[in-house]
Amino acid sequence: MSAAHATGDVLGTSVQASSGGRVPSSVDGEDPGSKERPRARKIGWRHTLRRDWVLYAMALVPVLFLLVFRYVPMFGNIIAFRRFRAGGSIFGDEWVGMRYVELFLNDPNFWNVFGNTVILGGLTLIFCFPLPIVLALLLNEVRKTAFKRVIQSISYLPHFLSVVIVVGMLMQLLSLQGTVNQIIEAMGGEAIPFLQRAEWFRTVYVGSEVWQTVGWGTILYLAALTTVDASLYEAARIDGANRWRQTWHITLPGIRPTMITLLILNIGLFLNVGFEKVLLLYNPLTYATGDVVSTYLYRVGLVANNFSYATAIGLFQAIIGLVMILTANFVSRRVVGASLW
Amino acid sequence: MTQSALTSTPSVGGGVSVGPRDSKSYRAFTWFNGTFLVLLCGFMLYPFVTVLAQSFSSAGAVKAGMVNVWPVGFNLTTYKVVIENDLFWSSYKNTVVYTLVGTTIAMVLTTLLAYVLARRALRGRNVLIGLAVFTMFFNGGLIPNYVLIQTLGLKNTMWAVVLPGAISVFNLLVMKSFFENMPTELEEAAQIDGLGWWGIFRRIVLPLSKAVIATMILFYSVAIWNDWFAAFLYLDKQELFPVTLYLRNMIAGASSTASQGAAASGSSTSEIAANIQAVTMILTIIPVLCIYPFVQRYFVSGIMLGSVKG
Residue A92 contacts B, CB cutoff 8 Å: no
Residue-wise pLDDT for A71-104, tens only, equals 999 999 999 998 888 777 878 888 888 889 998 9
Q: In the structure, what pLDDT confidence band is assigned to residue B308 with cuts at 50, 70 and 90?
A: very low
Residue B13 contacts A, CB cutoff 8 Å: yes
Question: Does residue B228 register a pLDDT over 90?
Answer: yes
* C-alpha–C-alpha distance, residues B291 and A319, integer Å: 39
Rounded to 10°, the helix A45-66/A2-11 angle is 150
CB A23 within 8 A of CB A40: yes
Task: Determine, for residues B141 and A283 on separate chains, whether the beta-carbon distance falls below 8 Å.
Answer: no
Task: Determine, for residues A220 and B307 on separate chains, whether the beta-carbon distance falls below 8 Å.
Answer: yes
Q: Select the residue of B117, B122, B310 nearest A52 (Cβ to Cβ).
A: B122
Q: Select the residue of A144, A219, A315 nearest B300 (Cβ to Cβ).
A: A219
Q: Which residues of A touch B227 (CB under 8 A)?
A: 162
**Which amino acid is located at A153 in the chain?**
S
Residue A177 contacts B, CB cutoff 8 Å: yes
Residue-wise pLDDT for A164-194, tens only, equals 999 999 988 998 888 899 899 999 889 899 9
Give the DSSP letter string of B177-218.
Answer: HHHHTS-HHHHHHHHHTT--HHHHIIIIIHHHTHHHHHHHHH
Task: Determine, for residues A141 and B151 on separate chains, whether the beta-carbon distance falls below 8 Å.
Answer: no
CB within 8 Å of chain A, chain B residues 195-234: 195-203, 222, 225-229, 233
Q: Name, in order, each residue with C-beta under 8 angstroms of A204's C-beta and a sequence gap of 6 or more.
A: A170, A174, A194, A195, A281
**Which range has highest mean pLDDT (A121-125, A245-249, B304-308)?**
A121-125
CB within 8 Å of chain A, chain B residues 36-75: 36-38, 40-41, 43-48, 50-51, 54, 63-65, 68
Alpha carbon of residue A225 to chain centroid:
22
Give the DSSP letter string of A39-103.
Answer: SGGG--HHHHHHHHHHHHHHHHHHHHHHIIIIIHHHHHGGGGSEE--TTS-TT-SEE-TTHHHHH
DSSP helix, strand, coil percent of chain B (3-state; round to 5): 75, 0, 25
CB A338 within 8 A of CB A263: no
Mean pLDDT score of chain A = 83
Residue-wise pLDDT for A220-236, tens only, equals 888 888 888 888 888 88
* C-alpha–C-alpha distance, residues A222 and A241, integer Å: 22
Q: Which pLDDT does position B272 carry in this prediction?
A: 60
Q: In the structure, what pLDDT confidence band is assigned to residue A204 with cuts at 50, 70 and 90?
A: very high
Question: CA triplet A332, A208, A303: central angle to 5 degrees?
Answer: 90
Residue B286 contacts A, CB cutoff 8 Å: no
Question: Does residue A8 register a pLDDT over 60?
Answer: no
CB within 8 Å of chain A, chain B residues 110-139: 110, 112-113, 115-117, 119-123, 128, 131-133, 135, 137-139
Mean pLDDT along residues A186-203: 91
For A33, A44, B57, B134, B191, the CA distances from A50, given in Å and listed in that order, are: 12, 10, 68, 29, 16
Nearest CA in chain A to B21: A242
Worst-scoring range by mean pLDDT, A9-18, B126-135, B251-260?
A: A9-18
CB B206 within 8 A of CB B217: no
**Closest chain A C-alpha to B106 CA, distance in angstroms:** 9
Question: Does residue B27 register a pLDDT over 90?
Answer: no
Percent of chain B clearing pLDDT 70 (strictly above): 84
Q: Which pLDDT does position B121 carry in this prediction?
A: 85
**Which amino acid is located at B77 in the chain?**
T
CB neighbours of residue A10 within 10 Å: 9
Mean pLDDT along residues B288-297: 83
Residue B255 contacts A, CB cutoff 8 Å: yes
Residue-wise pLDDT for B63-99, tens only, equals 777 888 888 888 888 898 888 888 999 999 999 999 9
Q: In the structure, what pLDDT confidence band is assigned to residue B302 with cuts at 50, 70 and 90?
A: low
Q: In the structure, what pLDDT confidence band is assigned to residue A43 with cuts at 50, 70 and 90?
A: low
**Closest chain B C-alpha to A288 CA, distance in angstroms:** 19
Question: Does residue B226 register a pLDDT over 50?
Answer: yes
Mean pLDDT along residues B221-225: 93
Q: Number of C-alpha atoms within 13 angstroms, CB side, residue B277?
A: 29
| Residue of higher predicted confidence among A97 and A199 | A199
Mutation to test the B interface, candidates A172, A220, A281, A308, most B Cβ within 10 Å = A172
CB A66 within 8 A of CB B130: no
Q: Which residues of A touch B146 (CB under 8 A)?
A: 301-302
Q: Which pLDDT does position B94 carry in this prediction?
A: 96
At residue B226, the 3 state secondary structure works out as: helix
Question: Does residue B36 register a pLDDT over 80?
Answer: yes
Question: Does residue B231 register a pLDDT over 80?
Answer: yes
Q: Select the residue of B22, B119, B197 nearest A242 (Cβ to Cβ).
A: B22
* C-alpha–C-alpha distance, residues B30 and A324, integer Å: 40
Mean pLDDT along residues A329-336: 85
> pTM for the complete prediction?
0.83
Q: Provide the ipTM.
A: 0.83
Helical H runs in A129-144? Answer: 130-140
Q: Which pLDDT does position B305 carry in this prediction?
A: 58
CB neighbours of residue B40 within 10 Å: 17
Q: Which pLDDT does position B130 carry in this prediction?
A: 93
Question: CA triplet A78, A84, A86: central angle to 5 degrees?
Answer: 135
Q: Which pLDDT does position A20 carry in this prediction?
A: 38
Q: Which residues of B touch A147 (CB under 8 A)?
A: 34
* C-alpha–C-alpha distance, residues B283 and B287, integer Å: 8
Task: Determine, for residues A226 and B13 on separate chains, whether the beta-carbon distance falls below 8 Å.
Answer: yes
Residue A72 backbone dihedrals phi, psi, to 5 degrees: -60, -45
Q: Which pLDDT does position A178 carry in this prediction?
A: 85
Residue-wise pLDDT for B234-268, tens only, equals 999 999 999 999 999 988 876 554 444 444 434 44
Q: Which pLDDT does position B253 carry in this prediction?
A: 74
**Closest chain B C-alpha to A251 CA, distance in angstroms:** 9
Q: Which pLDDT does position A24 carry in this prediction?
A: 40
Percent of chain B clearing pLDDT 90 (strictly above): 43
Q: Which residues of A touch B284 (CB under 8 A)?
A: 162, 165
Residue-wise pLDDT for B165-220, tens only, equals 899 998 998 899 889 888 888 888 888 888 888 989 988 899 988 888 988 998 89
Question: Does residue B26 register a pLDDT over 90?
Answer: no
Question: Does residue B162 register a pLDDT over 90?
Answer: yes
At residue A282, the 3 state secondary structure works out as: coil
For A124, A219, B59, B179, B201, the CA distances from B209, given in Å and listed in that order, are: 36, 21, 48, 8, 10
